[in-house]
Amino acid sequence: MTDTERKSDSSNIVYELYYSPTETPKELVEEVKELLKKLQDKDDVVIEIFETIESAQQQLLEDEIRTAATRGKFKVVSGGGGPLAISGSSKKLNLINGPVLVIRRDGRIEEVFPRGIQGIKDSRISPIDFLKKSLFSEKPITERLDDISFTEKNLRNLIITSPSLIEEGLTLLDTEVEIDSAVIDLVLEDRQENHLLLEFKLTAKDQTIGQVTRYNYKEYSRKKNISPAKIRRGIVTLGITGQIIKACKTNNIELYLVKVENLGYQSS
């Protein structure tokens, strides 16, 4: 890739670094700044650094980060597995354990670090982890942002490409449909023109039911001007735990388990 091509590829991407001069460990801030400078030399990206932000601006940023996590299917609230971008106790921007790196594409937050992967323990990716990997990658910057890790987004893209894995005759209608109660991952239409609203999880647990029941079919029917009777709700997953099958049956929620089957040589 030439310098001109690299600049064109990164022209709509902005890296934002947030930290507190009094609370954030200085050695971590300096290391991230140094890596960002190297990345800027490599990709000619725009870098903005924020030492302090006003309370209202911080609240807006925190809301944007949560929305991005919902849309991108990653974890940003600290829990088990190390500190993430949002504190698990205060629910505020977590700058005590290290700086927070936000990456915007066309003005919208696309990635946040530190973050985790939904459904996978000990999956924390820090700003330093991401920047080091990005510096050594020869891929265009947009591809690097798309290839960070396998998440529910990848599972969703698989179904977008091959909806027949769920049911013959399904076609793509929409993705990331926002209603007041939730963001619907994917909407497919069946041969009877019913709308199938889908939630994607690497592992479907009992609490996943609550996320799907927030897919308010009456609210969706008003938004799309269709009868509530024409709406189906479902979960697509690679694994199941607990009483999820029973819970889905009780709540009239379809459950699709994507499996790999060996049709070739069987080792003994």
CATH number at 138 reads 3.40.30
Between CA 260 and CA 257 the distance in angstroms is: 10
SS3 83: coil
pLDDT, tens digit, 9 for 90 and up, residues 77-135: 887 667 899 998 888 999 999 999 999 989 999 899 998 876 556 678 899 988 988 88
Domain stops at, among 133, 149, 165: 149
pLDDT at 146: 63
- Amino acid letter for position 194: N
In a domain, residue 123? The reply is yes
Count how many domains the chain has.
Answer: 2
pLDDT, tens digit, 9 for 90 and up, residues 22-45: 999 999 999 999 999 999 998 888
Sole residue written with tokens 């179904």: 159
Between CA 85 and CA 78 the distance in angstroms is: 7
| Domain containing residue 170 | 153-257
SS3 117: strand
Its sign, for the CA torsion 156, 162, 166, 171, is: positive
pLDDT at 6: 43
**pLDDT cut 90: percent of the chain above it:** 49
pLDDT at 136: 77
Residues 9 and 139 in one domain: yes
Residues 133 and 240 in one domain: no
Between CA 203 and CA 125 the distance in angstroms is: 20
- Amino acid letter for position 128: I
Its sign, for the CA torsion 61, 63, 66, 71, is: negative
User: Interhelix angle for 3-10 vs 26-43, to 10°?
Assistant: 120
